[in-house]
């Protein structure tokens, strides 16, 4: 594009912008109530949502339990860091 004349570059840029503006957003793949539920879970400070070590599983745990477990792991001297 650097070797093309400015007029052609501007024309291409305008065409691309026009295509982007006219493009329709894809339909959501989840229903509205599912999206609201996911948002509520994400915003809930009483729980922690983590990706599990294996598979595509997730773990939902109480925040205070999670904090306690992490602090215990960090202060445990059984295994060297």
Residue 40 lies in a domain: yes
Residue 66 lies in a domain: yes
pTM to 2 decimal places:
0.52
Residue 80 lies in a domain: no
Residue 1 lies in a domain: no
Residue 45 lies in a domain: yes
Cα separation, 1 vs 28, in Å, equals 35
Residue 10 lies in a domain: yes
Task: Give just the sign of the alpha carbon dihedral 65, 67, 69, 71.
Answer: negative
Residue 25 lies in a domain: yes
Secondary structure of 2-71 in the HEC alphabet?
Answer: CCCCHHHHHHHHHHHHHHHHHCCCCCCCCCHHHHHHHHHHHHCCCEEEEECCCCCCEEEEEHHHHHHHHH
Q: How many domains does the chain have?
A: 1
Q: Which domain holds residue 53?
A: 6-75
pLDDT in tens, the chain (81 residues): 678 899 999 999 999 999 999 999 899 899 999 999 999 999 999 999 998 887 888 889 999 999 999 999 888 888 765
Residue 39 lies in a domain: yes
């Amino acid at each position: 594009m650097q070797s093309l004349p400015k007029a052609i570059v501007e024309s291409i840029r305008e065409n691309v912008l026009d295509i982007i503006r006219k493009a329709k957003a894809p339909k959501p793949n989840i229903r509205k109530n599912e999206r609201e539920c996911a948002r509520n879970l994400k915003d809930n400070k009483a729980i922690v949502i983590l990706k599990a070590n294996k598979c595509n599983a997730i773990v939902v745990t109480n925040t205070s339990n999670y904090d306690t477990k992490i602090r215990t792991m960090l202060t445990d001297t059984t295994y060297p860091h």
